[in-house]
Chains A and B, each alone.
Chain A
Amino acid sequence: MADEVVLSTRQLVKRYGSRIAVAGIDLEVRRGEIVGLLGPNGSGKTTTILMLLGLTEASHGEARVLGRDPMRDPLSVKRAVGYLPDAVGFYDGLSAATNLVYTARLAGIPRPEIRGRIDDALARVDLTEHADRRVATFSRGMRQRLGLAEILMKRAQIAILDEPTAALDPHATLEFLAMIRGLKDAGITVLLSSHHLDQVQTVCDRVALFREGRIVLSGTVRDLAAQVLGGGWVIDVATDLPDAEAAFRGVPEVQAVTQVEPGHWRIQARSDIRNAVAAAVLGARGTLLRIGLAEPSLAEIYRRTFEEEATHVAA
Chain B
Amino acid sequence: MSRREGSPWAGVGTVMAKETADHLTSVRMRLLEALVFLTALGATYAALRSIRDTVGQDPFLFLNLFTLSQAPLPSFVAILGFLVPLVAIALSFDTVNGEFSRRTLGRLLSQPIYRDGLIFGKFAAALLTLVIALVALWLAVIGLGILLLGLPPSTEEIVRMAGFLLATIAFGGVWLAVGLLFSTLCRSPATAALSALAVWLIVGMFWAPITSMLADIISGPLMGPMGPNIGHVETAQALSRISPNGLFGEIAVAILNPATRTLGPVLYSDLDGALIGAPLPAGQSFLLVWPQFTALIAAVIVLFVLAYLVFLRQEVRA
Contact = CB atoms under 8 A, between A and B. Distances in A.
Interface string A85-120: 101111111000000001101111000000000000
A46 interface: yes
A256 interface: no
Given A83-B110, A102-B14, A46 B104 contact: no
A82 B112 CA distance: 10
Interface stretch (A71-79, A201-209, A216-224, A298-306): A71-79
A90 B103 CA distance: 7
Between A46, A75, A147, the greatest number of chain B beta carbons within 10 A of the residue's beta carbon is seen for: A75
Question: Which of B22, B110, B111, B317 has the most C-beta atoms of chain A within 10 angstroms of its own C-beta?
Answer: B110
A76 B317 CA distance: 21
B317 A106 contact: no
Nearest to A73: B5
Contacts of B108: 103, 106
Contacts of A56: 315-316
A46 B317 contact: yes
A79 B109 CA distance: 11
A91 B107 contact: no
A257 interface: no
Nearest to A90: B104
> Which of B5, B18, B111 has the most C-beta atoms of chain A within 10 angstroms of its own C-beta?
B111
B114 A92 contact: no
A90 B108 CA distance: 10
A210 to B, nearest CB: 16
A50 B318 CA distance: 12
Given A56-B315, A75-B5, A83-B107, A89 B112 contact: no
Interface string B43-75: 000000000000000000000000000000000
A103 B113 CA distance: 11
How extensive is the interface on chain A, given as a class? 20 to 34
Contacts, number: 79
Contact of A106 (B5, B14, B22, B103): B14
Given A50-B316, A55-B316, A105 B107 contact: no
A78 B316 contact: no
B106 A55 contact: yes
Interface in B173-207: none
B15 interface: yes
B102 A147 contact: no
A72 B4 contact: yes
Nearest to A79: B112
Count chain A CB atoms within 10 A of each CB in B6, B108, B317 and give the residue with the most: B317
B11 interface: yes
B214 interface: no
B269 interface: no
Interface of A: 46, 50, 53, 55-56, 71-76, 78-79, 81-85, 87-93, 102-103, 105-108, 147, 150
15 contacts: A46-B317, A53-B110, A55-B106, A74-B112, A75-B6, A75-B114, A78-B110, A83-B107, A85-B106, A88-B103, A91-B104, A103-B107, A106-B14, A106-B112, A106-B113
**Can you list the 10 inter-chain pairs with the closest CB atoms, starting with the nearest?**
A89-B103, A83-B110, A106-B111, A89-B104, A75-B6, A75-B112, A105-B14, A85-B106, A78-B112, A89-B102
